[in-house]
Homo-oligomer: A and B are copies of this chain.
């Protein structure tokens, strides 16, 4: 229950918020379609492969991968099951913690990434970076950094030197 006077959004704020909603849903749909068509998987799954490709030994613990990707472990479990069925990822037991599992990028997975990354990058570039001035790009980065930090306090300053 909230006794404070419910403050609505100003006209400016409403415009900004709606632009945000439109742009983010359109962009997500756009990239999802692009990747579904060219790589046979949705955007999030692609992100999982990227995270694995960048990790040492091409492998990550399930929990760490889930956190990096901002998804629940449950969702990750299903997702990895699917990627495993595609032969792009394989699971390995963790020797030091018998509860643990590693998700490991297979050669086939790396190959899919190598084949589809250029097209995806091009799509991102064309939909976002090519349309924004350098100042706007910089502002966007700062804004999104602030928003993310606000919603997930604690993972920030750790490895983000540019935020001070």
Contact = CB atoms under 8 A, between A and B. Distances in A.
Interface of A: 2, 6-9, 11-30, 47, 70-71, 117-119, 121-122, 124-125, 127-129, 131-132, 136-148, 150-152, 160, 162-164
Contacts of A26: 70, 147-148, 151-152
Nearest to A22: B148
A29 B70 CA distance: 9
A18 B156 CA distance: 12
Contacts of A117: 6
Nearest to A44: B25
Given A7-B121, A139-B139, A162 B70 contact: no
16 contacts: A8-B121, A9-B124, A12-B138, A13-B137, A14-B162, A15-B163, A18-B160, A22-B152, A23-B147, A24-B144, A25-B70, A27-B147, A29-B70, A30-B151, A139-B140, A140-B140
A6 to B, nearest CB: 3
**This protein's copies in its complex:** 2
A44 B7 CA distance: 22
Given A121-B6, A121-B9, A145 B23 contact: yes
A151 B139 contact: no
B137 A140 contact: no
Given A2-B122, A25-B70, A12 B141 contact: yes
Given A139-B139, A139-B143, A119 B2 contact: yes
